[in-house]
Amino acid sequence: MNVHQSLTAAQPVETPPVASAPTERDTMVRFESVSKIYPAYRDKPSVQALTGIDFAIPRGSITGVIGRSGAGKSSLVRLINGLEKPSAGRVVVDGRDISALAGRELRLAQRSIGMIFQHFNLLSSRTAADNIALPLEIAGWSRAEIAVRVAELLELVGIADKYDRYPSELSGGQKQRIGIARALATRPTVLLSDEATSALDPQTTRAILDLLANINRELGVTIVLITHEMSVVRQLAKEVVVIDGGEIVERGHVADIFTHPRHPVTQAFLSEVVGDSVPVSLASRLVAQPIAAGRAVIRLQVRGSNAGDTVVARLARELSIDVALLSARIDEIGGQHVGSLTIGIPGGEAAVKQAVTYLSQHNFPAERLGYVA
């Protein structure tokens, strides 16, 4: 029974319960103590790309894999579709050890794993429709079957009117839509996305991510998102794996990771999204010593509280002072507020101490940055 038999009729998607331990049935991809070493070649030394990777990707989920460039993300995703073989350990996809397959068996298994790429990788010699048809030709479908399937896919990704256009005549977003249609052609159960939006502008990125979310919801395809952009993970993924130096440094639900990042790499990625740096205009006016009739500048972190948006108002009311809002950025991630606020507190040392105490009591870590006039 194939859950993708119809594109239009949405089949119920199994989502594993959050708390219970994942069983074999709930797991789409499982890494078991996987290491990947690229042997030395000519003047290049050997490279340990991945070390001791152990994790499971739930069936039907959207899982983000985030890391800096060179962290091992690409190796990780290429182990899932058998383009690379692990040096140690196993990679099990849909109950099958993909790392043990070779030749014809591997090629058959690869048809149930779609992949989309940063630079789209479309054939310039083929039209949109013929690009989508390529994996079907390779799988040996008949012309008639291919025509029907390609028409469905063009419709699904919303570029039905571009069927006879060559890639050189299309925009980046349109090309990636063809890439997605092509990846879904053979009705895969897993879709791997290798930086699929990194070459697109923010608006197109959002549209492509929406399309991926739809595909996940309607077809139940498990999506693995490789990216170096936290905003992509935030918009789409439920689960996130942070890798650095070839190792998993943090993993969990997106909301948890965003609200309580522990590893420095995760924190760095997070500050990219919430922007906890002090604005230049403010930083240039900051001085270390109190100024008469000036304000103390305090930065407070909003992490996982659901009251981040009203904290300034409550602080002002509680202490009866005019709290100045100097800069603020609050985002909602997984239903929780995440961000940082920079505020100015007037009224001398006593008021500042009171304010800091109030804030820390209410779980807003605060630090004094200095003073402004």
Give helix 143-156 / helix 128-138 axis angle, nearest 10°.
130
**Among 47, 109, 316, 321, interactor with other proteins by CB under 8 A:** 109
Q: Is 186 in the site for other proteins (CB under 8 A)?
A: yes
Query: Within 10 Å of residue 135's Cβ, how many Cβ atoms?
Result: 19
- Asked if residue 83 lies in contact with residue 226, where contact means CB atoms within 8 angstroms, the answer is no
For the bound state, the minimum distance from the C-beta of residue 314 to other proteins, rounded and expressed in Å, comes to 53
Name 242's bridge partners.
Answer: 66, 250
Nearest to 134 by CA among 304, 225, 121: 121
Query: Within 10 Å of residue 70's Cβ, how many Cβ atoms?
Result: 12
Taking the least distance from each CB to other proteins, the nearer of 86 and 308 is 86
Coil vs helix vs strand at 125: coil
**Among 40, 102, 123, 283, interactor with other proteins by CB under 8 A:** 123
**Among 2, 8, 20, 125, interactor with other proteins by CB under 8 A:** 125
Taking the least distance from each CB to other proteins, the nearer of 115 and 345 is 115
Q: Of the listed pieces 17-25, 136-144, 218-226, 288-296, which binds other proteins according to CB under 8 A?
A: 136-144
Count the site residues for other proteins by CB under 8 A.
Answer: 33
Q: Of the listed pieces 44-52, 117-125, 235-243, 289-297, which binds other proteins according to CB under 8 A?
A: 117-125
For the bound state, the minimum distance from the C-beta of residue 235 to other proteins, rounded and expressed in Å, comes to 25
Q: Is 142 in the site for other proteins (CB under 8 A)?
A: no
Q: Is 115 in the site for other proteins (CB under 8 A)?
A: yes
**Among 107, 143, 262, 314, interactor with other proteins by CB under 8 A:** 107
Distance CA 110, CA 132 (A): 16
- Asked if residue 212 lies in contact with residue 242, where contact means CB atoms within 8 angstroms, the answer is no
Q: Which residues of 92-127 are buried (b: 16+ CB within 10 A; e: fewer)?
A: bbbeeebbebeeeebeebbebbbbbbbebebeeeeb
Residue with the two structure tokens 């890391």: 67
Q: Is 148 in the site for other proteins (CB under 8 A)?
A: no
Distance CA 86, CA 82 (A): 9
Taking the least distance from each CB to other proteins, the nearer of 122 and 296 is 122
Site residues for other proteins, 62-101, by CB under 8 A, read: 81, 83
Residue with the two structure tokens 């050189």: 168
Task: Report residue 34 CA to chain centroid gap.
Answer: 22
Q: Is 48 in the site for other proteins (CB under 8 A)?
A: no
Distance CA 35, CA 50 (A): 5
Kind of pairing between the strands at 190-194 and 113-117: parallel
**Among 2, 20, 142, 168, interactor with other proteins by CB under 8 A:** 168
Site residues for other proteins, 12-41, by CB under 8 A, read: 41
**Among 68, 119, 206, 253, interactor with other proteins by CB under 8 A:** 119
Q: Is 272 in the site for other proteins (CB under 8 A)?
A: no
Binding residues for other proteins (CB under 8 A): 41, 81, 83, 104, 106-111, 113-115, 117, 119, 121, 123-126, 134-135, 137-139, 166-169, 182-183, 185-186
